[in-house]
């Protein structure tokens, strides 16, 4: 699944080994990406792959933007962080209206993945609009973004998906 993520994001560059500094190119902290999943485990990786597979162009564009010389951030690490945010919003009930409006019947894992994709897309826009001084301020901006999303989720008619975001 790590190799699948690499191939989706970096189709023109072969991965030399499973443990390699190349992982830093897609925003992991070191040469072994599995060490970056401590907090969210497999769900963080599955979400990164889901976004890359279903929204390949957007994922590559956001990866490219995340390498900005001044406003750059660690794409994969931020993605894992956003999985944690989505999970906490699900656990505390904040996603109830969104899921109720989006799904007829019981919500499935697919619906969680779709919400995650929305977060990744919107966080990237938010980050560049805010123009943080440096990545060192990430937690402050993550919290501000979290508050923004919680505010949107208070609307009982809310549906937060990438399909809705990208409509002209």
* Per-residue pLDDT tens digits for 9-19: 999 999 999 99
Q: Which candidate, 58, 50, 47, places its Cα nearest to that of 80?
A: 47
Q: What is the pLDDT of residue 165?
A: 53
pLDDT band at 21 (very low <50, low <70, confident <90, very high): very high
Compute the C-alpha angle 30/36/39, nearest 5°: 160
Q: Which candidate, 98, 130, 122, places its Cα nearest to that of 112?
A: 98
- What is the tens place of the pLDDT at every residue in 55-114? 999 999 999 999 999 999 999 999 999 999 999 999 999 988 888 888 888 888 889 999
Task: Give the residue ranges of DSSP H helices in 25-108.
Answer: 41-54, 56-66, 75-91, 96-102
pLDDT exceeds cutoff 90 at 147: yes
Measuring CA to CA, how many Å separate 166 from each of 4, 49, 97, 132? 25, 20, 21, 25
Q: What is the pTM of this model?
A: 0.91
Distance in angstroms (rounded) separating the CA atoms of residues 70 and 4: 29
Please give the sequence-ordered ranges of beta strands (E in DSSP) within the chain, or none if there are none. none
Q: What is the pLDDT of residue 126?
A: 97
Q: What is the pLDDT of residue 168?
A: 39
Distance in angstroms (rounded) separating the CA atoms of residues 82 and 76: 10
């Amino acid at each position: 699944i790590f190799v699948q993520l690499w191939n989706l994001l970096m189709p023109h560059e072969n991965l030399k080994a499973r443990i390699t500094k190349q992982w830093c190119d897609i925003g992991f902290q070191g040469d072994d990406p599995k060490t970056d999943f401590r907090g969210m485990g497999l769900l963080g990786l599955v979400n990164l792959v889901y976004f890359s597979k279903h929204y390949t162009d957007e994922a590559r564009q956001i990866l490219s933007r995340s390498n900005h010389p001044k406003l750059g951030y660690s794409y994969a690490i931020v993605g894992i962080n956003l999985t944690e945010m989505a999970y906490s919003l699900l656990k505390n009930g904040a996603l109830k209206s969104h899921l109720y409006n989006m799904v007829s019947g019981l919500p499935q894992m697919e619906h969680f993945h779709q919400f995650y994709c929305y977060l990744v897309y919107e966080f990237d826009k938010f980050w560049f609009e805010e123009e943080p001084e440096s990545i060192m301020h990430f937690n402050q901006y993550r919290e501000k973004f979290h508050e923004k999303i919680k505010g949107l989720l208070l609307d009982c008619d809310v549906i937060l998906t990438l399909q809705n975001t990208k409509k002209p």
